[in-house]
Amino acid sequence: MSIDLPLLASHAHRLQATPLAALFGDAGRAERLLVQAAGLSLDLGRQRLDAPALDALLAEAHRLRLPSRMRALFEGEPVNPTESRPALHTALRSDLGASATARAAHAEALAARQRMEALSAELEQGSITDIVSVGIGGSDLGPRLVVDALGERGSGRFRVHFLANVDGHAAARLLRGLDPSRTAVLLVSKSFGTQETLLNGRLLRDWLGDDARLYAITANLPRAAEFGIPGDRVLPMWDWVGGRYSLWSAVGWSIRLALGRDGFDALLAGAADMDAHALSAAPARNLALLHALAAVWNRSLLAIPTLAVLPYDDRLGLLPAFLQQLVMESLGKRVRLDGSAVDTETVPVVWGGVGTNSQHSFFQALHQGTQIVACDFIGVIAPDHVHVDNHRALLSNLLAQSEALACGRASADPHRHYPGGRPSSMILLERLDARRLGALLALYEHSVYLQSVLWGINAFDQWGVELGKELADQLLPALSGSGLAGDSLTRDVLARIRKAQG
Ligand code: F6P
């Protein structure tokens, strides 16, 4: 089952023939398209939607049983059928599932948190000053985003660093400023089989000289033991949590160490606020469900190929990178759950950058380029600084851009003509603290899941990344001079590299 495109197409045709700005005067529009929960609001008022189109989308949400599919997620049903697994990231932060599976997962999450606390207390009592969290993809992007956004104001007493790329320059650059005797290293890898993390892990183990300050977070205890990390320095992950949904687990230990216990707890509490809302709010007032409907509408009905994530808060500079993985690894699928080909475009390309900087780089293309880009503007109402003029300027730019994109401005001079008609959503946080950030990230997680239900695809596998990994493994010996691998073009490049390396 997936969204009925022909049913919705007439609404899309009608609305595409209507100037976007002409929709804004509709009675009741603002109230209907503005929803609030968990310390944030979602405003879809500048989407190319009107009441009949929204009603049709909500009818599809009803037909596809989105609320009960959301319940299935929380109860630990196997929503990831290609790996026969549930996706119980919600059990890491809230206790809303009644099934034995969900309850067991929640109990395991609580036990792991207790162990994480005990290890955090040990570290806090010692002489360690710096923490390096080594991981990539889901074992990096979420914790890195949260620490970057909130670390400065956290009560944690450590400087927290991240190492992801297998490029040795990243390690060299990081280690230059660190003292091995005062550094602890967390190796974060659900599989404990990821090339980048294992190579960087070995590099850091050698650099530490003494592996007493080496910890692991993984679902693969035997591999961590093989690597030489004893069980008392390993925190668990589970196959029922996807990497890109895992920052709430011990994968986010770096967040706990940077923000302090209260900060980490508040992050989880904010996500739990959004969980409760996503699970029980009526569809027409449900932030996650409405966000998902707008996303699928833009992609499948209006054929908008990309989504720009535009945080107007410097502290959220890493949000586009986090959402790139969350959205594109989850929704980058071309077959449905039963293996049949989808009959629509699915994942948008996700990109973006902070405002106002981005206004002076790529916004030209947003306003006058040939391709329409859907935008998510994210703003924070109350700042955590005293520079009132700066904050007013920031917010005025945020508001101006979404209006200019939607309404445009006519000019007889084609170079100065702004076509408008470019839709956006606006998410406003009351302030940027751990609780609201937790809610924001959970909102996107739930929206992504509901988009996958609308398209009938699996949001929780990522088979597409495997082929490249296999080929890289085959090419590795060839790069050190032994054996042949790759097709004729790859071999040509290999030969040139070897020649240049002498
Ligand atoms: O290659 C993709 C991926 O499997 C992601 O899904 C995951 O977040 C990342 O690699 C890291 O995986 P791991 O935590 O197992 O090292």
pLDDT tens digits, 235-267: 999 999 999 999 999 999 999 999 999 999 999
Q: Whose CA is nearest to atom 2 of ligand 1?
A: 465
Ligand 1 atom 9: the closest Cα is on which residue?
137
**pLDDT-derived band at 502, boundaries 50, 70, 90:** confident
Indicate the SS3 state at residue 34. strand
Ligand 1 center to residue 115 CA distance, Å?
24
Segment 316-340 mean pLDDT: 98
Cite the active site residues: 329, 360, 469
CA distance 496 to 502: 10
pLDDT single digits (tens) 33-65: 999 999 999 999 999 999 999 999 999 999 999
pLDDT attached to residue 158: 95
What is the atom index within ligand 1 of the atom nearest the CA of 218? Answer: 14
SS3 108: helix
Question: Which ligand 1 atom lies nearest to the CA of residue 138?
Answer: 8
Q: pTM of the full predicted structure?
A: 0.97
Q: Which pLDDT value is given to residue 485?
A: 86
Number of helical H runs and strand E runs in the chain: 17, 11
pLDDT attached to residue 332: 98
For 31-61, letters b (16+ CB in 10 Å) and e give ebbbbebbbbbbbbbbbbbbeebbebbbebb
Please say if the pLDDT value at position 29 is more than 90.
yes
- Residue list, ligand 1 pocket, CB within 6 Å: 136-139, 189-191, 194, 197, 243-244, 329, 462, 465
pLDDT at position 17: 92
Closest ligand 1 atom to residue 194 Cα is: 16
Q: Which helix (H) or strand (E) holds 144?
A: helix 141-150
**Tokens describing residue 103:** 């309850």
Percent over 70 (pLDDT), the chain = 100
Nearest to 215 by CA among 185, 237, 192: 185
Mean pLDDT for the stretch of residues 22-31? 91
Ligand 1 centroid distance, CA of 422 (Å)? 35
Tens of pLDDT, residues 384-435: 999 999 999 999 999 999 999 999 999 999 999 999 999 999 999 999 999 9
Please tell me the distance between residue 244's alpha carbon and the centre of ligand 1 in angstroms: 8
Q: Which of 247, 230, 259, 268 has the alpha carbon at shortest distance from 135? A: 247
Cα(188) to ligand 1 centroid in Å equals: 10
